[in-house]
Structure 1
């Protein structure tokens, strides 16, 4: 390991996946590049499609766009550096560049969690009060709530980063992770970092558990409303409108809750396994979510079919 005896450091080294042999660098970099391209093109396609399709200018799809934006920005912030490490053997990231990456990683993660809460609110109002939905939940109200979801963690994330920056860093400058997260950076501090970790952990739990609690309550309300519907077919149809939201929420919360619970009950992962698990639950949903939006949401799927059929008819007409 590399250590320095000066009182401050100018850069960090990203280790990526510990123990990975040099001969596998090319394969890993290609897989990460494919993942990055899937995240970029999938989420960009959704954003552009919803923007261009006027029939989708409704609260539900505006919320989808904000979720797609968080997935897109998270992949853009994290993946290029780790791809560069395995493609060009470039492991160095500047001191302040690492803190900037940490800021955006945790900001985007918190914003995504709060936007999922807005999405649950949208579904609960749509099902519990369908006749008043268009009045209670408009495009403006959905946009305002999503913007608040971005702004809310912005303020305290600045404090978290400044708190981490206040620590002296004078020993190891090797980050055992694929990107600069809070624990990976602050664990390298020269002094007692317990207070810094407690504050950051408390805010992380707030941004994770408060939306999760609201989402659970919202879907309990949805279940109660659905059970009041007399027709079994209508109940199934109503619940099916929640399928994309449930899948997206499950992909975000389930692995995180599993990891936190595993740590609390004393089950620990080895460092390489932990890094792989974190990468999978952080980035794989960002690539999968656009598929869920397009093929599990009826309005988007129908719009895609219409576009495809119109194009097909035009091609036949020309020939």
Structure 2
């Protein structure tokens, strides 16, 4: 058993079981899972390609959409390849270093994703509430700097999480009932005191999501106030239509992650396979739908994508 649970360097090797209780259905689950992932990659790389090629799309809003596409690719790619190797090849082993690396990149990209959504809310606020100064306030260079700040924030906030886990001793049972390394699941196989880890994880979740959602809510509060001051209903509708795509993406991004965090920590009555299925859907469904939403709701982007599709 010790040879099975330890790497040559003496570090533990964890066993990711996939979706507990549904092992017999792993092949069937992998079909929509891999399909969603392929569609996600195609959609997001299409957005990146079209925006990079079209000079008329080199604007702050489309730069933010590209950042969102990159984070979507990152979130799904951190999880799906390993999950599919479990579903298809029963390749369940993952070293401690591999586990912590996956966790670090997944959470860093997720926090960056939240920062991009927050910046998009600020972009919509400026576009509606101060349109005459939009071009001077939100330049491409400033958006790039905001993206860099968001990335640095994500790295600094997430880095302590794997470092705190690395110091823990682990029991003989290294089985993690999940498709990827999730902090709470890893903590459950530790024999040490995880109080600091749990506290930091909970504070990190509520600080990031709480802060970002508060700023997003403030932006939309100011947007609604500005829209209500417009003279006609047609002007109301036109202004709000510019926010529709962003609102849809936010709902898809924040709702499942909040539900997942709360049920994982407080929802002991929810079956494990339900929670893990939802956690897996979160990393494939929003990344698949986000480029579709922006492609449908943003006319300029839709027209450019259509132009390239017609050439094929």
Length-normalised TM-score, structure 1 = 0.90
In the alignment, which of 22, 31, 34 is matched to residue 20 of structure 1? Answer: 22
SS at match of 2:14: strand
SS at match of 2:190: coil
Work out the CA distance in 2 between the residues paired with 1:80 and 1:258.
24
Matched, 1:253 2:234: no
Match in the other structure for 2:163: 162
Larger displacement relative to structure 2 (53-62 or 257-266): 257-266
Match in the other structure for 1:227: 228
Work out the CA distance in 1 between the residues paired with 2:267 and 2:40.
34
User: Does the CA-based 8 Å contact 1:9-1:95 persist in structure 2?
Assistant: yes
> Residue by residue, what CA displacement relative to the aligned partner does 1:74-129 show, whole Å, maximum 9, x if unpaired?
11111001101111111111221011001111111111111111010000011000
SS at match of 1:13: strand
Match in the other structure for 1:274: 275
User: Does the CA-based 8 Å contact 1:4-1:172 persist in structure 2?
Assistant: no
Match in the other structure for 1:10: 12
Runs of 5+ unmatched residues, structure 2: none
Work out the CA distance in 1 between the residues paired with 2:222 and 2:140.
22
CA RMSD in angstroms, aligned pairs only: 2.4
Work out the CA distance in 2 between the residues paired with 1:190 and 1:158.
22
Match in the other structure for 1:316: none
Matched, 1:31 2:32: yes
User: Does the CA-based 8 Å contact 1:2-1:174 persist in structure 2?
Assistant: no
Work out the CA distance in 2 between the residues paired with 1:263 and 1:89.
25
Match in the other structure for 2:292: 291
SS at match of 2:209: helix
SS at match of 1:147: helix
SS at match of 2:15: strand
Match in the other structure for 1:149: 150
Alignment: residue pair count: 310
